[in-house]
Structure 1
């Protein structure tokens, strides 16, 4: 009997080892225009209990950087390369543009497919091209797409430029409801369908709390909404991004509405985490959360907290995002904070290493594999991180070149030491001329990166008419 038991243990050992080495499920949750000061774990008055729990159970990345605007961040996140390499540098892709993310770029789901990730879903906002099927997410490595191609859709009607932009794979979706809740529902559904032997990848790209500012009444009431009082900004024609102009989803103030939008998204994140736990896979799933850029600062909506600046700026408030990562099965210690300079372009190489992908990347990556830093096996790295438009981080130094950006009002190049000056109040360029000279030389090669084709500005529309149901037919 002892020999039989020993033989059984020997035969079972490869199965046991395979189970221990099983690749984790990966879920990236991206918020849209969520400010540094708009989460509970940064002291906000906006209630985000699920994100706060994620911070307690996971690791807060206190110096996590993005591009200062939406589409460029999504490029870097999915490619591991700075977005100016793809011609997406300072703006987003408008509905009337024929521009899209370079189809020669390898995206994260394409890389993960080679590592055995059978299911690879994008749920929510794409915003990386819609003029032809070659730009469609299901032609870029994703096996499922549920959500919208454009940005700034109406949350209730899902309309943009007079046509409904809501899709299930390659066809229009007839699902109706509030966009944030529809995204959550689909994410939970996919977790139930994908949980199994093979690892899965989900990119949950909420459009909240990006404008137009609209929220369900139940969430507005949690912030004191009184339907007997006037709604904010109700007017005709429609408020920016809204299609009806009837004030649907408006609270009494923009800030009240914004807070309700954030809490609704937070509730959705809680439902996603619960679905993982219900399936018994929460400890074997990497969950990464961050915003795509800083708060828009429109009216009295998003907050940059103690940081300086907003979306569109290379100030910390525009590019430093609230960010969390949780992977209990991977040994990440909950409730810790890491001040390593890292960000959106590091996700591709880090997940590439975690997934055990041995093949060389199709193109040179700008990001680094920071898994050794996250798991504590390596110390803090002193590295350069390009923020775009003349801005560069190098360790604790930050340079921003004055290149005529009127919204930043620089009046000359500036140099900061971060920390301790996270709020960027003291320009130390004069006190450290050697550092200034070194960083100015270091940023020049990044600034010189150009693509053969670059995205055009946001206008004009030039008589643009949206396709029926935003269905792509051009190949």
Structure 2
């Protein structure tokens, strides 16, 4: 017991010292987001997957083992940018499709806007936006970013950078005709941004990679590293109409080659941080936007479920935080944490940041990450009539004990009626926050849609 008290006192003193330094030296912030990367798709969870760069980030940082996101990507991205549950402003149940005139509400303050007020002069979004493409008001450059390179829609072609037959690749507001594999181009740009930073003010770099989201397309050298055999057919080759560009022998092989490209991109970003001499005071946060999709090669084993569901496999994702100057690495935390915590945590790290005008649903994780505070007693809303706590999950009226994870098989509502009723009340409180304005179902409005030339964003 004395040893535990001593260790707690040391950690508390360390955290106090860190808080004093945070105000004096705000960190560079690099937020890396993978797209549809499953629980079982990283090496530190699955030895059969080769992700050495993500693994070294995990070894040097803190693994957040119970980190939750939304079951699909636009809502998770909205929560990252606002620190708020996206059902508050109409974005919880689905992504924003190409034919939809909708976006992240302009009543919401975004993370880069708040960081600008905290002294972050350069704020770049490099990758997949997916929070509105139909009007300039939804564009990253209208939401606090000073630089944008990447695509506005999801599920673009990795080689042509097209969606719905039109180029969706931008530098700022202007179409970019850069040639190359999308994941590699995004890593190139992130490395350039870090290398160009010479100012005294810290920077914010948001890199939402499009990998390994479908379409399943990988570069030949990445496929070769995953055992591609050119003498065997590519998957889908029996379909005469199939586009076989970038396909391997199997879906899983192709997916793993795409993860390989993602991992190499992450490694290049980490190397650029090291080479800049700023690694000690650079906060790197890595996560996936939702669980993997087995039909596209992803895996969430041993968790139940997949992208689109609120089973663990759909909403519990690989997540790592590294900040050498302030947080002791090489640890794993199983405390309940979530995508809505990213904004308040980064604002606290920035020091002197303004208070957002809208109520924040997330919490500042720095005391937990620094070891000066125990895990918060909290519940998280997952959408789709589900809520989770440290010990329990209520989903569609059924109660699951999370200490028995990842099974989520036995409904214990009858054995624990008091717990079930308490969580029903929690769920009702969360769902009472739902906005009257909600994005329409994904396919609605698709018929007859024609994408604008080069996905031009002309309307305000």
Q: Residue in 2 aligned with 1:366?
A: 361
Q: Residue in 1 aligned with 2:287?
A: 290
1:69 is the counterpart of 2:65? no
In the aligned structure 1, how far is the partner of 2:240 from the partner of 2:101?
A: 27
In the aligned structure 1, how far is the partner of 2:28 from the partner of 2:238?
A: 46
- The secondary structure found in structure 2 opposite 1:351 is helix
Identify the match of residue 262 of structure 1 among 259, 263, 275.
259
In the aligned structure 2, how far is the partner of 1:380 from the partner of 1:214?
A: 41
List per-residue Cα deviations over 1:350-387 (Å, max 9, x = no partner): 11111113532110011111110010011111111111
- The secondary structure found in structure 1 opposite 2:329 is coil
In the aligned structure 1, how far is the partner of 2:229 from the partner of 2:301?
A: 27
In the aligned structure 2, how far is the partner of 1:396 from the partner of 1:60?
A: 19
In the aligned structure 2, how far is the partner of 1:137 from the partner of 1:238?
A: 36
Q: Residue in 2 aligned with 1:406?
A: none
* Residue correspondence of structure 1 range 411-426 to structure 2 within 5 A: 413-426=397-410
In the aligned structure 1, how far is the partner of 2:255 from the partner of 2:378?
A: 36
List per-residue Cα deviations over 1:304-351 (Å, max 9, x = no partner): 121100001110000000000100011x22210011101100111111
- Post-superposition offset of 1:238: 6.3
Identify the match of residue 375 of structure 1 among 339, 363, 370.
370
Gap runs ≥5 in structure 2: 1-19
**Quick check: 2:30–2:207 contact (8 Å CA) kept in 1?**
yes
In the aligned structure 1, how far is the partner of 2:21 from the partner of 2:410?
A: 54
> Which runs of structure 1 show a deviation greater than 3 angstroms over 4 or more consecutive aligned residues?
17-20, 234-239
Please, what TM-score do these two structures have when normalized by structure 2?
A: 0.93
1:469 is the counterpart of 2:454? yes
Q: Residue in 2 aligned with 1:302?
A: 298
**Quick check: 2:79–2:86 contact (8 Å CA) kept in 1?**
yes
In the aligned structure 2, how far is the partner of 1:352 from the partner of 1:70?
A: 23
* Larger deviation, residues 192-201 vs 179-188: 192-201
Q: RMSD in angstroms over aligned alpha carbons?
A: 1.6
1:104 is the counterpart of 2:100? no
Identify the match of residue 450 of structure 1 among 419, 429, 434.
434
In the aligned structure 1, how far is the partner of 2:68 from the partner of 2:198?
A: 31
- Post-superposition offset of 1:212: 0.4
* Residue correspondence of structure 1 range 41-440 to structure 2 within 5 A: 41-234=44-237, 245=243, 247-298=244-295, 301-330=297-326, 332-401=327-396, 413-440=397-424
- Post-superposition offset of 1:463: 1.3
In the aligned structure 1, how far is the partner of 2:449 from the partner of 2:76?
A: 26
- The secondary structure found in structure 1 opposite 2:30 is strand
**Quick check: 1:158–1:164 contact (8 Å CA) kept in 2?**
yes
1:267–1:435 distance in 2 versus 1, CA, 3 Å: same
Please, what TM-score do these two structures have when normalized by structure 1?
A: 0.90
1:358–1:152 distance in 2 versus 1, CA, 3 Å: closer
**Quick check: 2:118–2:354 contact (8 Å CA) kept in 1?**
no
List per-residue Cα deviations over 1:370-414 (Å, max 9, x = no partner): 11001001111111111112111123111112xxxxxxxxxxx21
Q: Residue in 2 aligned with 1:407?
A: none
- Post-superposition offset of 1:456: 1.2
**Quick check: 1:195–1:281 contact (8 Å CA) kept in 2?**
no
* Residue correspondence of structure 1 range 12-23 to structure 2 within 5 A: 21-23=24-26
**Quick check: 1:37–1:44 contact (8 Å CA) kept in 2?**
no
Count the aligned residue pairs.
440
**Quick check: 1:32–1:70 contact (8 Å CA) kept in 2?**
yes
Gap runs ≥5 in structure 1: 1-16, 240-244, 402-412
1:97–1:429 distance in 2 versus 1, CA, 3 Å: same
